[in-house]
Amino acid sequence: MATAANALRDRLEGFNAQQFPAGVDRAATAVLGRVGFDQSTYFSDASPAQLEALRKKLEGTSERDTLEAMKRLVALVSSGTDVSALFPSVVKNVVSSNMEVKRLVYMFLIHYADVEPDTILLSINAFQRDMKGPNPLIRASALRVMSSIRVKVISQLVKMAIKAAVIDSSPYVRKTAAHAISKLHAVDGELHDELVDMVAALLNDSSVLVLGSAIATFDEVCPDRFDLIHPVFRKLCHLLADLDEWGQTYAVRLLTRYARTQFVDPDPAAVEA
């Protein structure tokens, strides 16, 4: 039980101050406090009868019951319990006006997007609306769900969502756009050129929160397009120390490859030899 609680806490604490712009981290912290991770009952095993009770709460009209059901479901997911049978009941709540419910619903949908792609497609319009909402956490979550639906038929819709996210005012949403590019590229390689243009835009971003993810996406989508690195090389060197640990790892690897392929050997004797 304690292990499951810690796993869920670690998952949500990914939304921390290092990843979010000012203000959004406080919202994530508020979710942590309200969900009630110290209540071990959320992490106990669920019987078929209990799952049916959760289904009724999810399909009911009480926001309080829906929130309680979503807390229970996300806790069960974090403990490795398969609750995909409740997916249709959860996806209906993506239109909820309650931000706490919506955040938990998106966490659930991101986890099961690959398992239930046909069902989740029914809510694609809701995701598109949330992409235009005022909350950057919800915009990012909507994009994560859309890009996790590995169905080629919606590639154009996902591409348009990513294109909007690349120029979003929130660094966290732009960071999410970088990860979404990699996912879409794996689903539809025909969009390669357009996605490379988006990678180039993210590499020119001024936020270190975005740059680490942009570099990782560059490595996956267009690792040999060093022409995209030429104009940002000095900036990457200057901001290297400000990137997070993973971003620094990707950046050092990229800069090393760039130096080995683009710089002239400083030792003329070695060149002549």
How many CB atoms are closer than 10 A to CB 89? 17
195 within 8 A of 184, measured Cβ to Cβ: yes
CA 218 – CA 181 distance, rounded (Å): 10
Q: How many residues does the chain have?
A: 273
pLDDT in tens, 156-189: 999 999 999 999 999 999 999 999 999 999 999 9
Q: Has residue 29 got a pLDDT over 60?
A: no
| Burial of 18 (C-beta count, 10 Å sphere; 0-12/13-18/19+) | exposed
Instruction: Dig out the tokens for 74 from the structure.
Output: 């996300």
Pick the residue with more confidence: 98 or 33?
98
CA 216 – CA 183 distance, rounded (Å): 12
CA 250 – CA 229 distance, rounded (Å): 13
Q: Has residue 2 got a pLDDT over 90?
A: no
Query: Residue 270: its pLDDT value, please?
Result: 58
Q: 63-78 and 48-58 are packed helices; what angle lies between their axes, rounded to 10 degrees?
A: 140
Phi-psi label, residue 106: left if phi above 0, alpha if psi -120 to 50, beta otherwise: alpha
Q: Has residue 41 got a pLDDT over 70?
A: no
154 within 8 A of 113, measured Cβ to Cβ: no
Q: What is the DSSP string of 66-131?
A: HHHHHHHHHHHHHTT---GGGHHHHHGGGG-S-HHHHHHHHHHHHHHTTT-HHHHGGGHHHHHHHT
Q: Has residue 76 got a pLDDT over 80?
A: yes
Q: What are the φ/ψ torsions at residue 257 (nearest 5 degrees)?
A: -65, -40
Query: Residue 146: its pLDDT value, please?
Result: 92
Q: pTM score, two decimals?
A: 0.75
